[in-house]
Structure 1
């Protein structure tokens, strides 16, 4: 696939995301991986693996922050639901990362 085709694909995907009202990913690593994919330096499976790892890192950081709060998470304004959600998301993303090559 030519670089021009890849750039058109990326632009269409980003436009769909914006049109649907979803937040755009702004992490510089994500944007660099998009540019590497457009340039043909990496393929989509590698991009996906990189992005899943980024998401795992984010959730791990959130989980660590919540753990540091311990039982004080309620006092800090974090609901039990959010506290459990971060823990569940962490497990899900770790499983996705492990099996990303199977997708």
Structure 2
């Protein structure tokens, strides 16, 4: 893939992670607060849905971090620090872009 495609994929993955985590937290809070309205089986299914959604969101975020590291010309393994969320964001911000044209 080209650098431009890696940048696009990286930005999409990072946005999914940044906006998806609060959604999962809201779902978990909803399940906790409104638990009296549901049966035990329904609560189990809602928790399963929330866990699967969280896995997809974090996987998208980590994939986005890896793609951005590739686009910046850095080792792709640095993008795996996206597993730790905040350090992953800091690395994306502070690591230099080796592919940037200097004027």
Specify the TM-score bucket, using the shorter chain as the normaliser.
0.3 to 0.5
TM-score (norm 2): 0.41
